Structure 1
Amino acid sequence: MTELRTSTPPPGNSFRAQRLHPAWIVAGVGFVTLVGAAAFRSVPSVLLDPLHEEFGWSRGTIGSAVSLNMLLYGLISPFAAALMDRFGIRRVVASALVLVAAGAGLTVFMTQAWQLILTWGLLVGVGVGSMSMPFVATITGRWFVRQRGLVTGVLTAAGATGQLVFLPLVSSLASAHGWRVPSLVVAAAALAVVPLVLLFIRDFPSDVGASAYGAEPGSTAGLRKQATGGAIRALTVLATVARRPGFWLLAGGFAVCGASTNGLVATHFVSAAHDHGMPPTTAAGLLALVGIFDVAGTIFSGWLSDRVDPRYLLLAYYTLRGLSLLILPSLFAPHTQPSMWVFIIFYGLDWIATVPPTVMLCRELFGDDGPVAFGWVFASHQIGAAIAATGAGVIRDIQGSYTMAWYIAGGLCGLAALMSILIKRAVVPAAV
């Protein structure tokens, strides 16, 4: 997966001594950044009980900061992708890391609930949202022609899985040392990544005298393009792609993706398992295993996206996910049965495998607007997650169980599969 440098970089270039194609350096730093971002997002959920005990704030009030964080994580995405076009990847990501550090570090001084909403909700939400999935689309779209799907899968796994994997680690740290320690650790970790971003991230391959990885001789892939406005570009792209049926089919399917993963399973699985007598620590461990298996599933999905029609992959993923959710209510028990292990493995492999084919379709359908368009598609993912997180809780309050929520999610996955196969691919893939 590596190749020797064939171009000579300008004098003084930081990639000068590297034998690897610089695209792999950029992808590697992006991987570290996204893993870190996942850790940043893990901390708010472990603050609920400690903050309630220390300050007496209601869980609803504390939860509002977490909800704002989640919502901004999605809604900032298209604007972040546009700002990367306007100001460059390095500046946007470095600034985002500083915002995360400020938001996490300032929490140790807070005394009122609105300060939590300002720090973990607003500052960390904006910061992490600026390093979300459009960051993946921007790196892969600019730096890779060959292996683009595989790299998309690897980077997606870093961002999507890290939160589930880090959750028990952050929780243990908070239990042993209090909630302030993980907050300060997150702040320090965010600042530690900034030098890596400034030293090794570049906006375009042409900035280091190279072409995109796998580009044919004479190709324009990887050449610097004229910068355009940030927020205006995000809104302009939305106005353009909103006239395309493919955008709404992708966004609708991805909203179901968010509802059936982050919104439902990530938020309510532990509570649903506890309803059936399973200890919360056991259920949390199972959820962490979902994240581990997601690494393999998402990377494999990226590999397949280079070789198989992305629509067929989405059809398969949503169909299989829907079937697994329909049978989940019958698998809950006080102890982990073999059937539950099968679900954890199967569902983990499918957790966020939808991202690589969705990114590929956005790039194909919308060309250079693909990363920004994917930002809006990803925003729909988070909106779906927010609706499901609230809706499943309401169902539990009214009916006394989550059973109907699992059934509704399974049915919606079937609808997402149908929407995916209805997407019309471009006759000629957009130039990259």
Structure 2
Amino acid sequence: MRYVLPPAKAADPPGADGVHAIARKPSPLARLPFYYGWVIVAATFVCMALGVNARTAFSLFFPPILQEFGWESSTTAGTFSVGFLGAAALSPWLGWLMDRHGPRAVTLLGTAAMVGGLLLATLVSEPWQLYATLGLLVGGGSICLGYSGFSLFLPNWFQRRRGFATSIAFSGVGLGSILLLPWLQGVIESQGWRAACWALGVLVALLVTPLTLLLRKRPEDLGLQPDGAAASGESEAPGHAAIADPVWAATEWTLPLAMRTRRFWWVALGYFWALYVWYAVQVHQTYYLIEVGFDPTQAAWALGLVSLIAIPGQIGLGHLSDRIGREWVWSMACLGFVLSYLLLLAMRHWPGEALLYAMIGCQGALGYGMTSVMAAIAAEIFQGRNYGRILGALMLAMIAGGAVGPWLSGLLRDASGSYDLAFVVAIVGCGISAGAIWLAGPRHIRPVGRFVL
């Protein structure tokens, strides 16, 4: 069934997100010698370098917490899953908060939750306390400072360079990991995991809070146009994406309307399995590498190197996605995770550095490239004034996958005595995710690589 909007008035051209722009007096920020969208990219780069890696750091806290308390691995890994459940509770409101109050409110909320969780984690003595602090507060707060939170508004700033700009912003996670995670591992080894939580909480508070002042929801708020094109009414009109399905693209998408389409559920399925395979390996990788014979410091460096190698991988794949399409790059990312899981399985029998670095390369250069197209896929299918609410609902699928992946992998490991079955399940999930995004088919609505100028 197709839903058609009345044609828009000619004098009221749509903005980047499909919202009909209201004429605004240009902000002084519009007079900068460069496009303000790149300021948004830079602020996102730093915020995500800290916000995402503060959550990733649980992989480093995992072994010393197990050693200190003697809890089962599934019980401790459940902290990560509880964090995703907290994020799931917040997710439906996150799109609403973004649409009503903008990115600064979302980012400040995430910062307060994350800092509070990290500082309170130093007082943990029972599993429920670990779940409440490193789980609910840090995990729930990280959705505001991670891929999901910034995906709610970053695509508004770019059209022609959407994949490229997003990949640069999100590659901050890689640089943050190579700087932050080894430093945290050093603090853990010298002063303990509690001291590391305290230090990380203070760092997030000091660096992220002032950066929120730079964030804006869309370029039209400053009298600008996407990609830095000339403002409406000036001599140069902004470029806009080619449309393959004018009826779909003209539809005023609401969340209930989107949920009645197959594309919504294909995207949800693809996102679920993507986050499943991503966080299953992220949470258990350090412990697994130590289990098969690697030094704890080497295992921690491996986690950091994955994200470091992801920097050129994300940027390259993001740029490539603007040329060949989101589906191809998503499939390449899924292939990267398949190869990394196969190499992890091989390391149980041949735990050498060659396989370790091959795994790091596949996971970082290919697998993490998924982030460069995740926001673009949803934006190109459901672009419009309600995009935040729709993506907020799709986040539930991401969060569910991220919650189930670490928990089920730990459960399968405890039940079978090895990670073999857990990794096989993840490999199957990679294939499901790739197929689902092809069936969603953003290329059938707004094909990339062709823009009308």
TM-score by length of 2: 0.78
Q: More displaced, 317-326 or 77-86? A: 317-326
Given candidates 357, 360, 380, the residue that maps to 2:397 is 380
The reply to whether residue 211 of structure 1 matches residue 228 of structure 2 is: no
The reply to whether residue 322 of structure 1 matches residue 344 of structure 2 is: no
Q: Which blocks of at least 5 consecutive residues in structure 2 are unaligned?
A: 1-23, 240-252
- Distance in 2 between residues matched to 1:81 and 1:93, nearest whole Å: 12
Structure 1 residues 169 and 221, CA gap change in structure 2 (3 angstroms): farther
**Shift in Å at residue 91 of structure 1?**
2.0
Structure 1 residues 144 and 273, CA gap change in structure 2 (3 angstroms): same
Which residue is equivalent to 1:283? 299
Q: Does the CA contact (< 8 Å) of 1:42 and 1:166 recur in 2?
A: no
| Paired residue type of 1:199 | L
**Shift in Å at residue 337 of structure 1?**
4.0
The reply to whether residue 100 of structure 1 matches residue 114 of structure 2 is: yes
| Paired residue type of 2:101 | F
Which residue is equivalent to 1:128? 142
Which residue is equivalent to 1:422? 439
**Shift in Å at residue 367 of structure 1?**
0.9
TM-score by length of 1: 0.81
Given candidates 343, 356, 372, the residue that maps to 1:356 is 372
- Distance in 2 between residues matched to 1:86 and 1:383, nearest whole Å: 25
Structure 1 residues 280 and 84, CA gap change in structure 2 (3 angstroms): same
Structure 1 residues 26 and 424, CA gap change in structure 2 (3 angstroms): closer
Which residue is equivalent to 2:283? 267
| Paired residue type of 2:404 | I
Q: Which blocks of at least 5 consecutive residues in structure 1 are unaligned?
A: 1-6, 223-235
User: What SS class does the counterpart of residue 369 from structure 2 fall into?
Assistant: coil
- Distance in 1 between residues matched to 2:69 and 2:335, nearest whole Å: 45
Structure 1 residues 366 and 258, CA gap change in structure 2 (3 angstroms): same
How many residue pairs were aligned? Answer: 409
Structure 1 residues 214 and 256, CA gap change in structure 2 (3 angstroms): same
The reply to whether residue 292 of structure 1 matches residue 308 of structure 2 is: yes
Q: Which has the higher contact order (CA 8 A, sep 6+)?
A: 2
Identity %: 25
**Shift in Å at residue 56 of structure 1?**
8.0
Q: Does the CA contact (< 8 Å) of 2:339 and 2:362 recur in 1?
A: no
Q: How does 1:198-237 map to 2 (within 5 A)?
A: 198-215=212-229, 217-218=231-232, 237=254
| Paired residue type of 1:258 | L
Which residue is equivalent to 2:82? 68
Q: Does the CA contact (< 8 Å) of 2:187 and 2:196 recur in 1?
A: yes
Structure 1 residues 181 and 198, CA gap change in structure 2 (3 angstroms): same
- Distance in 2 between residues matched to 1:174 and 1:293, nearest whole Å: 24
**Shift in Å at residue 361 of structure 1?**
2.0
Q: Does the CA contact (< 8 Å) of 2:151 and 2:375 recur in 1?
A: yes
Structure 1 residues 79 and 221, CA gap change in structure 2 (3 angstroms): farther
Which residue is equivalent to 2:413? 396
Which residue is equivalent to 1:88? 102
**Shift in Å at residue 70 of structure 1?**
3.6
- Distance in 2 between residues matched to 1:396 and 1:300, nearest whole Å: 35
Which residue is equivalent to 1:304? 320
- Distance in 1 between residues matched to 2:206 and 2:58, nearest whole Å: 20
**Shift in Å at residue 197 of structure 1?**
3.1
Q: Does the CA contact (< 8 Å) of 1:134 and 1:371 recur in 2?
A: no
**Shift in Å at residue 161 of structure 1?**
7.0
User: What SS class does the counterpart of residue 196 from structure 2 fall into?
Assistant: helix
Q: How does 1:10-21 map to 2 (within 5 A)?
A: 10=27, 13=28, 15=29, 18-21=32-35
Q: Does the CA contact (< 8 Å) of 1:136 and 1:152 recur in 2?
A: no
Q: Does the CA contact (< 8 Å) of 2:337 and 2:430 recur in 1?
A: yes
Structure 1 residues 29 and 45, CA gap change in structure 2 (3 angstroms): same
Given candidates 257, 262, 281, the residue that maps to 2:274 is 257
Q: Deviations over 1:216-246 (max 9, x none)?
A: 6528989xxxxxxxxxxxxx95433222212
- Distance in 2 between residues matched to 1:75 and 1:19, nearest whole Å: 42
Q: More displaced, 418-427 or 31-40? A: 418-427
**Shift in Å at residue 402 of structure 1?**
2.0
**Shift in Å at residue 163 of structure 1?**
5.0
Q: Does the CA contact (< 8 Å) of 2:59 and 2:284 recur in 1?
A: no
**Shift in Å at residue 19 of structure 1?**
2.1
- Distance in 2 between residues matched to 1:310 and 1:338, nearest whole Å: 31
Q: Does the CA contact (< 8 Å) of 1:75 and 1:129 recur in 2?
A: no
Q: Does the CA contact (< 8 Å) of 1:42 and 1:164 recur in 2?
A: no
**Shift in Å at residue 349 of structure 1?**
0.9
The reply to whether residue 241 of structure 1 matches residue 270 of structure 2 is: no
Q: Does the CA contact (< 8 Å) of 1:77 and 1:132 recur in 2?
A: no
Q: Does the CA contact (< 8 Å) of 1:138 and 1:371 recur in 2?
A: yes
Structure 1 residues 92 and 394, CA gap change in structure 2 (3 angstroms): closer
| Paired residue type of 1:277 | G
RMSD: 3.5
